[in-house]
Amino acid sequence: MSGAKQVRRVGSDVPFFASMIGLGSVYVGLVAAMLIADATVASWADITDALAQREIRYAIWLSLISCTMTTVLSLWVAVPIGYLMSRYDFRGKALVNALLDIPIVLPPLVIGISLLILFQLPAGKFVQDVLGTRVPFMLPAVIIAQFAVACAFAVRTMVASFDRIDPRREQVALTLGCTRAQAFSSVVLPEARPGMVTAATIAWARSLGEFGPILVFAGSFRMRTEVMPTTVFLELSVGNLEGATAVSLIMVTVAVVVLVLARRFGSRRSLA
């Protein structure tokens, strides 16, 4: 027998994994049960009837377009904010951290009311004059309402992503003659790509499910500011449970497809 010590197993791992799987299955089972419940209410005919309606098709396309625009805007903002919050300490950083978390912790309706009030103030009216269009209850309000909430989640994701990147590589690039912008674009950003994909996925998914701020700030006007969450609300308000459930299932399908593609694309980019 060799002199190496042999690891001695004490007991079985079965109870451990059984408890972990049992606890985890509670939430997974709840989500699956909700989807099954929706499927029992809305038939395939209800889904095809919903897709046949021009208003619902408009809501689907507006949701897809607005969520994509919101995601792009969120990344433009989240990447620089996440980098600065991760790399630098400055006076007032705790206050900025608190402000960044406000859209996450506030009730969505409060965010919608705040946006509505903001655009009634002189600063908001000035922005509308510059844009040459009214913002509340118009198409731009949908994107602003989604952006106000989704960007906060993208920022938090990017802060965590930059925290995991070793700053010494960036310092080495600086000592080799790179400018700060060159070091950021050639060293930091490539390593942050998986985090950017995750931030974009979270922002897109959060935008797709946003309801409260859109209802208050953009309204639920058909063929103008109606997105899929407000479609569900409108169908429920007239007692059409089957139609509301059908639209809900369409939202689930769209969300699953986008999330799967984003994660697959993100994993390939991270391995590249």
How many domains are there within the chain?
1
> Can you say whether residue 165 is alpha, beta or left, with left for phi > 0 and alpha for psi between -120 and 50 degrees?
beta
| 153 assigned to some structural domain | yes
Which residue range(s) make up the domain with 172?
64-226
Residue 40: the pLDDT is 87
* pLDDT tens, the chain, 272 aa long: 455 555 566 667 788 888 999 988 999 999 899 889 888 888 888 888 888 889 899 999 999 999 999 999 999 999 999 999 998 888 989 999 999 999 999 888 899 999 999 999 999 899 888 888 888 999 999 999 999 999 999 999 999 999 998 888 888 888 888 888 888 888 889 899 889 999 999 999 999 989 989 999 998 888 889 999 999 998 888 888 888 899 999 888 888 888 787 777 665 555 45
Does residue 43 fall inside a structural domain? no
State residue 33's pLDDT score.
92
In a domain, 147, yes or no: yes
Query: What DSSP string runs through 9-53?
Result: P-S-SHHHHHHHHHHHHHHHHHHHHHHHHHHHHS-HHHHHHHHHS
In a domain, 187, yes or no: yes
What CATH number does the domain containing 176 carry?
A: 1.10.3720.10
Torsion sign over Cα 130, 135, 139, 140: positive
192 contact partners, CB below 8 Å, separation of at least 6: 79, 158, 161, 162, 165
In a domain, 18, yes or no: no
Domain annotation covers residue 185: yes
